Amino acid sequence: MPGPRSTLAGIALVVGAGACFSMLDTTTKFISTAVPLLMALWFRYAFQAIATTVTVLPARGMSVWRTLHPKFQVLRGVLLLASSFFAFASLKYMPVGEFTAIVMIAPLAITVLAVNVLKEKVSPMRWALVAGGFAGTVVIIRPGGEAFQWASLLPLGLVGTNAWFQVLTSKLARTEDPVTMHLYTGWVGTLIATVALPFVWADLPEGWLWAALCFMGVMATVGHFMLILAYQRAPAATLTPYLYLQIAFAMLGGWIVFSHVPDGWSMVGMAMIATCGAGGAWLTVRESRMALEPIEA
């Protein structure tokens, strides 16, 4: 069991990761009108892959590449690249806060996959939280309403690919080194994006655009490293509620950079998603404690 200091460190790290990802998303939206999507995607992954390799390889050597499941490592990298593609495409058309809130239903979507793929049993209360989270998404998207745009559906593609990514991650984490997994995802994304790079490369007229691409790479790399360190210090169920602070960071970024404030219905939807997501994490903690309690004769 992790001690109080270790748990607090894990919480601080996961909050920091959420801030990094919000800055990544805000910057992505900011440059989306000037930089081709696939070019930005390549830069984000190349920066992460090179930075991770330079940091890890001197200390760990080539042994860090050893894996029992190379095919699954590649599949995991493909799923994360697909998630990033949906994220970049979504942010081109959607406000950062609303986008982040919809993405946050991923942990609830994993519950559905756990039932169908991992054959896990799910309580009625957890199903109610899943339904509430999806209802919050509908409130934000509002299909059929005046504010509805087809681009509002793009984050759902991210949710689907990210849910599969998380399920595969949970299975690989039982036997694989998290640093090895992080290294593979960076390079798989970089190599696939490199194939498309010659067709989408554009000369950027302003130096600040290059600086923004570098900043995106830094935020993605630091954010993922902070997540790894956080999960090494505290259980996932303890940290999950704090992930929803990313919605607040995203709203702040959208307000500062784009002067955007979500409307009333969007705020209601965000609150529903955050409440149901945090409730799911609380339920996980409660179920884990009950499983550890001794059974009385």
Residue-wise pLDDT for 257-293, tens only, equals 888 877 777 888 888 877 877 777 677 666 666 655 5
Q: Is the pLDDT of residue 202 over 50?
A: yes
- Domains of the chain, by residue range, sit at 4-292
- Is residue 239 within 8 A of residue 10, CB to CB? The reply is yes
Q: How far apart are CA 40 and CA 110, in angstroms?
A: 28
Q: What is the mean pLDDT of residues 87-110?
A: 79
Q: Does the structure show a pLDDT above 80 at 22?
A: yes
Question: How wide is the angle at C-alpha 200 spanned by C-alphas 198 and 160, nearest 5°?
Answer: 110
> What was the pLDDT predicted at 297?
37
CA distance 168 to 10: 23
| Rounded-to-integer distance, Cα 261 and Cα 280, Å | 27
- The token pair at 232 is 């090494």
